[in-house]
Amino acid sequence: MSVLAVGTLALDYIETPWDKTEEVLGGSATYIALAARLFTEPVGMVAVAGRDFPDAHKQLLISKGIDLSGLQELSDHDTFAWGGRYHDNINVRDTLFTHLNALAEFDPVVPDAYEDSKVVCLGNLSPDIQTISLNQLSGRGFIACDTMNYWISNTPNALRDVLAQIDCLLINDEEAHQMTGEHNLILAARQIVALGPRILVIKKGEHGAMLFADEHIFIVPGFPLDKVRDPTGAGDSFLGAFAGSLACESHIGLDALKRAVIYGSSVASFCVETHGPFQLVRVLPAAVEERTRLFRGLTEWPISCESLDV
Amino acid sequence: MSVLAVGTLALDYIETPWDKTEEVLGGSATYIALAARLFTEPVGMVAVAGRDFPDAHKQLLISKGIDLSGLQELSDHDTFAWGGRYHDNINVRDTLFTHLNALAEFDPVVPDAYEDSKVVCLGNLSPDIQTISLNQLSGRGFIACDTMNYWISNTPNALRDVLAQIDCLLINDEEAHQMTGEHNLILAARQIVALGPRILVIKKGEHGAMLFADEHIFIVPGFPLDKVRDPTGAGDSFLGAFAGSLACESHIGLDALKRAVIYGSSVASFCVETHGPFQLVRVLPAAVEERTRLFRGLTEWPISCESLDV
C-alpha cells in the first residue's frame, strides 16, 4: 500500500443547525482513506464493520479506489455508531451516543500486502489496537497517529507505548493541553515530542494548524470558509491528506511536511463544506491543488517598510 | 503628527499567576503611542490623567519621544484605574474593578498641531468621545479605531456613527461575534464592513489576526511564544504598531496593510513578554524587524508535490 488507514468504520447520526442525517458513512478510516486517495494509490483500510453496514457504503469506498481487503465484517454485531449534535456555533458539539458494537470486538489483522505500506495512519482507536496493528507491520513506513481525549484520560500508559513507536502525532489543541496540563501550545509541544514522536501537528480547527518538526515551527491558517456545514471528519481527512501527500514525496523532510500540513488543511476545508464525507467523495485533485494555491495568497506578504530597514 | 493616539491613560493593577503589580502605567493611548513610536515620529496623544498620575510615568512617555501636548490633567480627580486578574490559562482574565475617575470627565481637545495627523488611532473609548475627537480633525488622515464589548452592548447607535466615519476597525473575534451575532468570522466581517469601515482587522490572540480589505483576506499567525507573562495592552500595541507602520508607507494599499498586520502582531508579541508596557519601552526597532522576518519563516512553504501537478 501507499497509504494504510487503520481506524473505524462508523454509521454516523449527525444533527446540525441545518439538517439531521442518519446512517451516514463515517469513521476515521473512511475519512482518512477518502482523503489520502486524492493524492496517491493504492490506499488500503484495516477496519471492522457490522451486519448492518450498508453495501452502498462499501461500494462507494470501492468506487473511490479504496482497497477493502483489510476490512473485517462481523455478522453478529452492528456497526460502530456515533451520534452528535452541532450547535449554532458550529465549532461546538455534543456527543449524543457512542455504540461501540462491532468495534468492541475489533482484533485488527493487517493483510500481508499491507505490511510495507509507505505511510501508515493510525486513526483514532484504542492505543492497544493501535499497538496490535503496529506490531504486524514489518516494513515500517512513516507512521502518523491520531488519538482523542478518551484515550488520553483512560489509557495513558498504553498511549505512551504508542507514542514511543510513531513518527508523527496529530492531535487538536485541547488534546495537547489535556495530555500535558500545559495551556501554552509551544510548551505542550515540547513535552509531547519528548514522549517519542519526532513530529507533531496540533490542529486548531478554524484557527489552522501548527507543525513542530525538530526545532522548526510552521503555521497554516484555517481556510476562510463562509459556510461550514458539518465539521465531522475534518481531523481525519486532515490526517488522510497529510499522509497521502507524504506518500507521494521522494523524501519526508521539512519541506514535505510543510506541504503535507497545507494539503491536510486544504482537504479538511473541503470536508466540512457539506455533511458527511460527500464533499471528499466529490472533490477532484485539481480543486485541492487550486485551493492549496489560495493558501499561499492568504499568508504571503511583500517585504519593505522603508522606515524599518535597519 | 505622524500618528495621533486618542485613548486612555490608566493606572493598572494586574495579577498574573507569577506576579501582582500596582499602579502600572497603562491605558490604550499609552500602549498605542509606545508601539507607534517604534516606526515613526512624532507621535502624539490625546488623553486625560488625574492628580495621582505619577510624574515618572509622564517622564517615561516623554523620554520615548511621545508628544504630550494633548494630555489633559485634572487636579480634582484620580486617574482612570483598571484591575485585572489573569488565570493559569493566561488567555482568560477577570476584571476586578474599573474606576473611571478622570475618564468620566474626559472632553477631548485635539491640539491644532495634531489636526492633520497622518494616521489617527481611536483607542478604546466611548463612541461619543471618539466622535468628538474625530470632529476636531480637519486633515482626516487614515483613521483606525478600536472598541470593546461594553460599547457594542450599551451604545450601539453611537458606535455605528463612528463606524461610518472610519477607514479601519480593529477588534477581536469575540467582539466581531458580539457585534453581528455571527459565529463565522468571514460572515461577521462582511456585516461589519457593510457598516462603514473599508478595512477590518479581527484579532484572535494566540491564533493571530485576519485582515479583510476589499475582497482580500490576509491571515497572520500568532507569534509562537513559550512565555506569555501579561497580555494587557496586546491589542492596543497591535493597533499602535499597525498605525505606526502605515504612517511610514507612501501609499496605504493592500501590501502596506499586510505589512501593518505583520508589524502589529510582531510588536504585540513583544508586549506580552513582560508585565505592563515595559517590553514595549525596551524593545528596539531592529528587534521588531528581526521578529517580523521570523513571521515569514513561520508561514512560507515550498511549491511542488509532483503527484498533484495537475
pLDDT tens column, A276-299: 999 999 999 999 999 999 999 999
Of the candidates B219, B255, B289, the beta carbon closest to that of A308 is on: B289
What does the mean pLDDT of chain A come to? Answer: 95
Q: pLDDT-based confidence at B156, cuts 50/70/90? A: very high
Is residue B139 scored above 80 in pLDDT?
A: no
Q: What is the mean pLDDT of residues B122-142?
A: 93
Count contacts between A and B (CB, < 8 Å): 134
Contact check, Cβ <8 Å, A224/B206: no
pLDDT attached to residue B181: 96
Q: Which of A299, A303, A306, A310 to mutate to test the interface with B (most CBs of B within 10 A)?
A: A299
pLDDT attached to residue A78: 98
C-alpha cell at B108: 477631548
Q: Is B259 an 8 Å CB contact of chain A?
A: yes
User: B288: nearest CA in chain A?
Assistant: A308
Sign of dihedral through CA atoms A227, A233, A239, A244?
negative
pLDDT attached to residue B33: 98
Looking at CA atoms only, how far is residue B289 from chain A in angstroms?
A: 7
Contact check, Cβ <8 Å, A204/B204: no
Residue B286 exposed, middle or buried by CB count within 10 Å (0-12, 13-18, 19+): exposed
pLDDT attached to residue B304: 64
Contact check, Cβ <8 Å, B307/A248: yes
**A185: chain B residues, CB-CB within 8 Å:** 206, 224
| Percentage of the residues of chain A whose pLDDT score is greater than 90 | 93
Nearest alpha carbon to residue B205 among B77, B81, B33, B86: B86
Q: Is B93 an 8 Å CB contact of chain A?
A: no
pLDDT attached to residue A139: 76
pLDDT, tens only, B89-98: 898 999 999 9
SS3 of A36-103: HCCCCCCEEEEEEEECCCCHHHHHHHHHCCEECCCEEEECCCCCCEEEEEECCCCCCEEEEEEECHHH
C-alpha cell at B56: 515618572
Q: pLDDT-based confidence at B53, cuts 50/70/90? A: very high
Is residue A213 scored above 50 in pLDDT?
A: yes
| Residues 95 through 124 of chain B touching chain A, CB cutoff 8 Å | none
Q: pLDDT-based confidence at A112, cuts 50/70/90? A: very high
Residues 6+ apart with CB under 8 A from A106: A47, A48, A72, A125, A129
Q: pLDDT-based confidence at A228, cuts 50/70/90? A: very high
Q: What is d(CA B261, CA B258) in angstroms, rounded to the nearest whole number?
A: 5
Of the candidates B39, B190, B204, the beta carbon closest to that of A308 is on: B39
Q: ipTM, 2 decimals? A: 0.91
Q: Is A289 an 8 Å CB contact of chain B?
A: yes
Backbone angles phi, psi at B66, to 5 degrees: -80, 130
Number of other residues whose CB lies within 10 A of the CB of residue B156: 11
Q: pLDDT-based confidence at B310, cuts 50/70/90? A: very low
pLDDT attached to residue B306: 47
Q: What is d(CA B43, CA B2) in angstroms, rounded to the nearest whole number?
A: 6
Contact check, Cβ <8 Å, A185/B224: yes
Q: DSSP state, B78?
A: P
| Residues 18 through 77 of chain B touching chain A, CB cutoff 8 Å | 39-40
pLDDT attached to residue B85: 97
Q: pLDDT-based confidence at A304, cuts 50/70/90? A: low
C-alpha cell at A194: 519528548
Contact check, Cβ <8 Å, B186/A226: yes
B221 to A218, A300, B230: CA distances (angstroms): 10, 12, 19
pLDDT attached to residue B11: 98
pLDDT, tens only, B230-275: 999 999 999 999 999 999 999 999 999 999 999 999 999 999 999 8
Query: ∠ CA(B178), CA(B183), CA(B189), 5° rounding?
Result: 75
Ramachandran quadrant class, A181 (left: phi over 0; alpha: psi -120 to 50; beta: rest):
left
Number of other residues whose CB lies within 10 A of the CB of residue B17: 11
Residues 6+ apart with CB under 8 A from A135: none
Q: What is d(CA A4, CA A33) in angstroms, rounded to the nearest whole number?
A: 8
Is residue A177 scored above 90 in pLDDT?
A: yes
Q: What is d(CA B43, CA B66) in angstroms, rounded to the nearest whole number?
A: 5
